[in-house]
Structure 1
Amino acid sequence: MNDRDVVLVHGGHHGAWCWDAVVESMRNLGYEGNIHTPDVPGCGSKRGRDTDRLRLIEIAEELNDELSGIGTRNALLVGHSMAGVVLPLMVENRPALFSSACFLSTSIPRNGESILDLFGTELRGIDQTRIGWPESREAGLEKFFAAMFAPDMTPEQFDVVLKNALEDSWPACASAEAVYRSGFPGSFSVSFIVTERDPILPPAWQGRFAERLGVTRLYSIDTPHEPFITHPDLLAEILVKTARTN
């Protein structure tokens, strides 16, 4: 089978490392296309960079330059969580690289809003107009990350995620910069995967995000926020199906 390219863009406090189990599962399912897992500046292989002055469009351009340089074409572009603010810019900046996009439990602010506007500063439930947070950062980063990432993970899995999450940091613009999706999706094919037991993005909010994106296909899976760690085979099945049909 002539499988097309797939690009997997990680979310906040993660790097390309988080996709390892999913890539392995996709290969076990017989997927033969190229699978690319770029690191966002400040994460994974790009840790330690000064990212203070970066803007969202510059992140999109850097990732697209890397993908173009390795011959990516006709790709399914997949993004998780915070990557939702970058994927539309990647498509708008270099539409020839991609033929469809899949948003995995991603944060999608309204046009003119930032992720910080979307979440607010309070714990969930205090301000009904904002998502809120499942835990306070004042409780310490380990407890904060555990509330967001640990559900369904084994202790060994969370140890790996915590170690990396403490070192991986997206540029500040990803949270603070207002987003604009000019012309997206247009005629572009877009799917969204809702994670039904998500401690960060409640399913009702994910439904709103899917509407904002104008999705053409909606999936729902019974997992927390990190299915690439906790349920890689399930996620791989959906990604392979989407890459081959969407």
Structure 2
Amino acid sequence: MKTSIVRMLCIAAIIAMLAACAGNEKPPAGTPKTYVLVHGAWQASYVWDSVQADLVKSGNKVIVVKLPGHGTDSTAVYQLSLDVYRDKVIDAIAQADSNVILVGHSMGGMVISGVAEKIPHKIGKLVYIGAFLPATGQALTDLAYSDSASRLGPLLIPSANQLTLDVKHDSLTYLFINDGTPAIKSLLLANYRAEPAIPFTSKVTLTKANFGSVNKVYIKTLQDIVISPAMQNRMIAAAGIDKVYTINTSHSPFLAQPHAVADLLIKAAQ
């Protein structure tokens, strides 16, 4: 009899322990998302490598866009425009089997805004990371010239034919990844090339019915000296975005703190 009672008490204790463990389990992860990542000016698709790895490890799908005129692409710069970039992203989204989380950094914010205007039904959410966020009729130059706190302008070097913009090479890491490790700074320098200039002056046309219908999130880069936090605040307010995250990095958070960026993108997608 005593043996039976002890056995029953042991079983009850085990059941209680299992219930307690079950109560401490983390809730299941959300439905996997498809992220489309668009890099900014003077950079290329390599900047997303670590973020992509983290997102995939979390069960998501990732499409990294390689914009023409960047990285190893040899498209002639006179053929490039914001619409060319936009159409490249639209082609990439066509590969997805569901709505996407469309992410743009810096100049990429101009690109994803144009994409949202064209195919709003394919986009679950727009995420801007330290990015230009235009109103209709604006070009990147309109926004950049109004950012008095940016350190970029005086360090630009236009080519003789005005088709590309270079940045003073001794200022590259200072501008884009001042908080990066020596290895990350070397990576940026090794992949640097002058930026096509024509897309900077391309104006966007955005409507409430299309662009305005897509949910938007902004991730502010608090140490940014390319697009200042003050400028980011003005664009966020003008666009009426109320879901805002912050990351305490320079202009390139995906290089400085890639794991934190991946975590924020997962949160932003919820």
TM-score band w.r.t. shorter chain: 0.7 to 0.9
SS at the partner of 1:197? coil
Q: 1:11 aligns with which of 19, 37, 40?
A: 40
Higher alpha-carbon deviation: 101-110 or 200-209: 101-110
- Equivalent residue, structure 2, for 1:119: 144
Are positions 1:161 and 2:179 aligned together? no
1:15 and 1:44 in contact (8 A); partners too: yes
After superposition, give the CA deviation of every residue in 1:214-238 in whole Å (9 maximum; x if it has no partner). 3231111111111100101111111
- Equivalent residue, structure 2, for 1:235: 261
CA distance, structure 1, for counterparts of residue 105 and residue 167 of structure 2 = 24
Are positions 1:92 and 2:120 aligned together? no
After superposition, give the CA deviation of every residue in 1:184-238 in whole Å (9 maximum; x if it has no partner). 5423210000111111111111011112333231111111111100101111111
How far does residue 72 in structure 1 lie from its aligned partner after superposition? Answer: 4.3
1:190 and 1:213 in contact (8 A); partners too: no
Q: Which has the higher contact order (CA 8 A, sep 6+)?
A: 1
User: What does 1:39-118 correspond to in 2, within 5 Å?
Assistant: 39-45=66-72, 47-68=73-94, 70-118=95-143
- CA RMSD, 1 decimal: 2.2
TM-score by length of 2: 0.77
* CA 1:64–1:129: 2 relative to 1, 3 Å: closer
SS at the partner of 1:186? helix
Which runs of 5 or more structure 2 residues have no equivalent in the other structure?
A: 1-29, 158-165
* Structure having the higher Rg: 2
- Equivalent residue, structure 2, for 1:123: none
How far does residue 110 in structure 1 lie from its aligned partner after superposition? Answer: 4.4
SS at the partner of 1:48? coil
AA in 2 matched with 1:55: S
1:54 and 1:173 in contact (8 A); partners too: yes
1:91 and 1:98 in contact (8 A); partners too: yes
CA distance, structure 2, for counterparts of residue 65 and residue 242 of structure 1 = 24
The total of aligned residue pairs comes to 231
How far does residue 55 in structure 1 lie from its aligned partner after superposition? Answer: 2.9
Which runs of 5 or more structure 1 residues have no equivalent in the other structure?
A: 121-127
- Quote the sequence identity (%): 26
CA distance, structure 2, for counterparts of residue 129 and residue 80 of structure 1 = 17
2:120 and 2:213 in contact (8 A); partners too: no
How far does residue 151 in structure 1 lie from its aligned partner after superposition? Answer: 1.0
1:61 and 1:93 in contact (8 A); partners too: no
AA in 2 matched with 1:164: N
SS at the partner of 2:101? strand
CA distance, structure 1, for counterparts of residue 106 and residue 147 of structure 2 = 19
Are positions 1:20 and 2:49 aligned together? yes
SS at the partner of 2:141? helix
* CA 1:164–1:136: 2 relative to 1, 3 Å: same
SS at the partner of 2:169? helix
AA in 2 matched with 1:212: A
SS at the partner of 1:148? helix
TM-score by length of 1: 0.84
AA in 2 matched with 1:96: H
AA in 1 matched with 2:240: G
